């Protein structure tokens, strides 16, 4: 079962919660349901790494081919 990391919009608390189905957990600090799900573990890392890759290569080439723009490929 997946454990997701959440950030409470109301009090700023970060907490982890084991999620079953599409339940939205309540904040462990203030019981607010206004929480944002963070991508934990590898999902979070690959997103950060992808962001760096994109910004480093922006304007020069796309990640899927050597073209100078993505107009000619499916990316």
How far apart are the C-alpha atoms of 3 and 56, rounded to whole Å? Answer: 32
In the complex with Zn ion, the residue whose CB is nearer, 19 or 26, is 26
How far apart are the C-alpha atoms of 14 and 36, rounded to whole Å? Answer: 9
Min dist CB 1 to Zn ion, Å, is: 23
Name the β-bridge partners of 6. Answer: 15, 37
Residue from 16, 18, 32, 41 in contact with Zn ion (CB under 5 A): 32
Footprint of Zn ion on 11-30 (CB under 5 A): 11, 13, 27, 29-30
Residue from 10, 33, 37, 75 in contact with Zn ion (CB under 5 A): 10
Q: Phi and psi dihedrals of 24, rounded to 5?
A: -105, 120
């Amino acid at each position: 079962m997946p454990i997701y990391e959440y950030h409470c919009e109301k009090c700023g608390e970060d907490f982890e919660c084991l999620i079953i189905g599409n339940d939205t957990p309540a904040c462990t600090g203030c019981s607010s349901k206004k929480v944002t799900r963070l991508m934990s573990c590898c999902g979070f890392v690959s997103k950060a790494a992808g962001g760096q890759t994109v910004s480093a290569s922006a304007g020069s080439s796309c990640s899927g081919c050597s073209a100078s723009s993505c107009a000619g490929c499916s990316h």
